[in-house]
């Protein structure tokens, strides 16, 4: 049974989306109206703001769920239904989904760094590219979540995505942490064939006109590449959260909050990402664990693996990978 069906909670989706658009408008139109290089301090403050907003929303969501579950007959008529316990479970599902998406987003940060370096995007313009990139990512995530809420009702599709996550996690685990080169990337070559590309960056513009012809700038190419890469990441991350909860509303809200803080997290971590040499293995292990949940663990535990156990395991895996990175530094870093 879906506890928050779209037919009854459409107003929540509309209100939440309006709130997110308002926040994004304030972000670009007020706080980042002028292009500037985002400092570590500023990025840290904004990262704290986005995480705090997510936690406040989670608490308010718990209070609302507890009230609704304890006053609505459609819930109370369910045999053995405990309003407070279910409200806590829903809140923990949001928190676990948020942690998973936030963790997997670290892989996006590696891509951001590679793409910006390849196209030579100065730090002063990176926030603008990421803003529109995140906005596009939100739209694509909505589409993926809507599809997932329908498709993942079928057992064979759940097994398929579980196996896909297992395969992706194992592949990532053995892929290592080598640097990437986009020079021969098929997408980059295709973009340069499709668009008339201006060779240099012209301020923060995505398009420029010269001699009656419209050109796209390297900022636009970087934006398109980031959008396409996020679609690929969504194939992993959306099913991963659906493995933790069957509620599209929780998947949607946890996904959105995690993505909103992705820009500030990038600027905060971009300078030290190479220091966390074991984080890739931690992310791979998370994918493997979530894949196991979809193909085996949920069924083994009567249809649903305990959400608190999931949260503890995921936080434990990521924490261990960070601690290992700090304790066992590269030889180049020990000097």
Cβ proximity of 32 and 57 under 8 Å: no
DSSP 20-83: HHHHHHHIIIIITSS--PPPHHHHHHHHHHHHHHHHHHHHHHHHHHHHHHHH-HHHHTSTT--H
Q: Residue range 18-36: average pLDDT?
A: 74
Cβ proximity of 298 and 304 under 8 Å: yes
Q: How does residue 40 score in pLDDT terms, banded at 50, 70 and 90?
A: confident
The answer on pLDDT for 97 being more than 70 is: yes
Q: Residue range 140-155: average pLDDT?
A: 86
Q: Residue range 291-309: average pLDDT?
A: 86
Higher-confidence position of 257 and 269: 257
The answer on pLDDT for 32 being more than 70 is: no
Predicted local distance difference test score (pLDDT) of residue 93: 95
Cβ proximity of 244 and 310 under 8 Å: yes
Predicted local distance difference test score (pLDDT) of residue 171: 85
The answer on pLDDT for 103 being more than 60 is: yes
Cβ proximity of 168 and 287 under 8 Å: yes
User: In this structure, which long-range contacts are made by residues 14-21, counting pairs with CB atoms below 8 Å and at least 24 apart in sequence?
Assistant: 16/252, 16/253, 16/256, 20/138, 20/256, 20/260
Cβ proximity of 213 and 44 under 8 Å: no
Whole-angstrom distance, CA of residue 334 vs CA of residue 265: 25
Q: Residue range 229-237: average pLDDT?
A: 80
Higher-confidence position of 308 and 233: 308
Residue that the structure tokens 């730090």 belong to: 123
Q: In this prediction, what percent of the chain has a pLDDT beyond 70?
A: 91
Angle between helices 83-119 and 279-292 (to 10 degrees): 140
Residue that the structure tokens 């993505």 belong to: 259
Task: Encode pLDDT of 151-196 as tens digits.
Answer: 888 888 889 888 988 988 888 888 755 555 566 677 778 888 888 8
The answer on pLDDT for 318 being more than 60 is: yes
Residue that the structure tokens 């301020």 belong to: 203
Predicted local distance difference test score (pLDDT) of residue 333: 55
Angle (nearest 5°) at CA 141 between 156 and 260:
140
Whole-angstrom distance, CA of residue 251 vs CA of residue 19: 17
Q: Which residues, other chains included, contact 253 with Cβ-Cβ below 8 Å and sequence gap of 6+? A: 16, 57, 61, 94
Q: If you average pLDDT over every residue of the chain, what do you get?
A: 84
Task: Encode pLDDT of 194-227 as tens digits.
Answer: 888 888 888 888 999 888 889 998 899 889 988 8
- Which one, of 170, 236, 226, 247, lies nearest residue 12 by Cα? 247
Cβ proximity of 233 and 164 under 8 Å: no
Six token digits for residue 124: 């002063």
Whole-angstrom distance, CA of residue 175 vs CA of residue 110: 14
The answer on pLDDT for 235 being more than 60 is: yes
- Which one, of 55, 138, 47, 46, lies nearest residue 92 by Cα? 55
Q: How does residue 14 score in pLDDT terms, banded at 50, 70 and 90?
A: very high
Predicted local distance difference test score (pLDDT) of residue 313: 92
Higher-confidence position of 169 and 270: 169
Predicted local distance difference test score (pLDDT) of residue 64: 95
Whole-angstrom distance, CA of residue 8 vs CA of residue 83: 18
Q: How does residue 92 score in pLDDT terms, banded at 50, 70 and 90?
A: very high
Q: Are strands 213-216 and 207-210 parallel, antiparallel or unpaired?
A: antiparallel
Least confident among 26-40, 97-111, 132-146, 320-334: 26-40
The answer on pLDDT for 274 being more than 80 is: no
The answer on pLDDT for 33 being more than 70 is: no
Cβ proximity of 134 and 258 under 8 Å: no
Q: In this prediction, what percent of the chain has a pLDDT beyond 90?
A: 23
Q: Residue range 245-262: average pLDDT?
A: 90
Six token digits for residue 247: 């509620």
Predicted local distance difference test score (pLDDT) of residue 253: 95
Predicted local distance difference test score (pLDDT) of residue 90: 95
Of the segments 20-29, 40-49, 247-256, which one has the largest average pLDDT value?
247-256
């Amino acid at each position: 049974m879906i506890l928050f069906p779209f037919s009854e909670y459409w107003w929540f989706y509309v209100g939440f989306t309006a709130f997110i658009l308002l926040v994004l408008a304030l972000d670009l139109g007020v706080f980042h109206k002028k292009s500037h290089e985002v400092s570590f301090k500023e990025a840290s403050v904004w990262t704290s703001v986005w995480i705090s907003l997510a936690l406040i929303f989670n608490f308010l969501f718990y209070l609302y769920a507890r009230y609704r579950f304890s006053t609505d007959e459609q819930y109370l008529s369910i045999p053995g239904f405990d309003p407070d316990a279910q409200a806590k479970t829903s809140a923990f599902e949001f928190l676990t989904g948020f942690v998973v998406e936030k963790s997997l987003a670290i892989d996006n940060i590696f891509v951001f760094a590679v793409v910006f370096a390849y196209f030579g995007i100065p730090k002063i313009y990176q926030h603008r590219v990421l803003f529109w990139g995140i906005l596009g990512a939100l739209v694509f995530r909505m589409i993926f979540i809507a599809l997932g809420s329908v498709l993942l009702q079928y057992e064979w599709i759940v097994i398929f995505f579980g196996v896909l996550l297992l395969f992706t996690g194992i592949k990532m685990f053995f892929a290592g942490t080598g640097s990437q080169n986009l020079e021969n990337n098929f997408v980059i070559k295709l973009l340069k064939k499709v668009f008339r590309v201006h060779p240099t960056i012209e301020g923060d513009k995505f398009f420029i006109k010269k001699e009656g012809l419209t050109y796209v700038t390297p900022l636009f190419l970087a934006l398109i590449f980031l959008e396409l890469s996020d679609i690929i990441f969504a194939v992993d991350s959306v099913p991963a959260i659906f493995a933790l909860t069957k509620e599209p509303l929780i998947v949607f809200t946890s996904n959105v909050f995690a993505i909103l803080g992705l820009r500030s997290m990038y600027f905060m971590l971009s300078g030290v990402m190479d220091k966390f040499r074991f984080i890739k293995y931690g992310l791979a292990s998370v994918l493997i664990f979530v894949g196991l949940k979809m193909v085996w663990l949920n069924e083994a535990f009567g249809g649903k693996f305990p959400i608190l156990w999931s949260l503890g395991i995921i936080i434990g895996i990521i924490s261990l990978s960070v601690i290992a990175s700090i304790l066992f530094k590269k030889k180049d870093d020990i000097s």
